[in-house]
Amino acid sequence: MHSRQQEIAAALNVCSPFDGPAAVQADIERRVAFIQACLRDSGMKTLVLGISGGVDSTTAGLLAQRAVEGMRAAGEGDDYRFIAVRLPYQVQHDEDEAQLAIDSIKPDECHTVNIGAAVQGLARATEALDDLTPAKRDFVLGNTKARMRMVAQYTIANARHGLVIGTDHAAEAVMGFFTKFGDGACDLTPLAGLVKHQVRELAAALGAPEQLVKKVPTADLEELSPGKPDEDAHGVSYQNIDAFLQGLPVPEEAARIIVETYDKSAHKRQMPKEPV
């Protein structure tokens, strides 16, 4: 074991491996109850989540829809709703899988906000982008896309008395693999503590299509590298990330990359600093 494994796993509240299908179902019920409690505690009536077509947003969407349906069935109010939001940048190359996710979730409502014009308008108005290399500009605007998507989700949530769901989980959190104040901004994170293969286990148990359960994860934010796999960006596989977080042996180089990335991305997991 790497000397930091236990410390990092505890900081991210990593879940223990599931001991069979019953444990998966119990975890689903726990996370659905968590979502319901968030709604009750906030006094809000709506959940809002961007659906990309990946396994993370599909799983979170299935949990959210189950949560509001359960509250309606229990007589807590017919006005509890889940709104799935499609947030393409112009034309999304895997739009068919995003629609497959929507079809499997069957949300109460589905809205579409194309962020292309907003991102391009901001880019044209931002002088600081002018002297960047094409690769650096593409990277910066990738984060702008993530932040614009969150602006859209909060606009819908504000209009509909709702909470915004995030899809972050332990395997992304450890790598800082989210945009600060972009997809990292949300009101609740029902997948927190899960490693990647556990997200897939929940997705399969919730009835997600196998095509989405096994889909290669991609943030798909960079135009110069469309569909770039997460693992290419990480420099380490999700298999090794999951093993590291769950206290299993991993190659020395993989452990080094994970720990260094965790330390470098610490600012993303912290609240804004303030004077003491």
Question: In this structure, what token pair is assigned to residue 204?
Answer: 């399969």
Q: Is 212 exposed, middle or buried (0-12, 13-18, 19+ CB in 10 A)?
A: buried
Q: Angle CA(203)–CA(205)–CA(211) in degrees, nearest 5?
A: 50
Residue of 56, 168, 220, 222 with catalytic role: 56
Residue of 27, 97, 168, 172 with catalytic role: 172
C-alpha–C-alpha distance, residues 4 and 244, integer Å:
9
Q: Identify whether the C-beta of residue 163 lies closer than 8 Å to the C-beta of residue 39.
A: yes
Question: In this structure, what token pair is assigned to residue 261?
Answer: 């990335």
Nearest residue to 48 via CA among 157, 124, 183: 157
Q: Report CA 152 to chain centroid distance, whole Å.
A: 16
Amino acid occupying residue 2 = H
Nearest residue to 200 via CA among 171, 229, 230: 171
Active site residue 172: yes
127 φ/ψ angles, rounded to the nearest 5 degrees:
-65, -30
Q: How many CB atoms lie within 10 A of CB 124?
A: 9
Active site residue 260: no
C-alpha–C-alpha distance, residues 45 and 82, integer Å:
9
Nearest residue to 198 via CA among 9, 12, 61, 21: 21
Q: How many CB atoms lie within 10 A of CB 60?
A: 30
C-alpha–C-alpha distance, residues 69 and 71, integer Å:
5
Catalytic residues, which ones? 56, 172
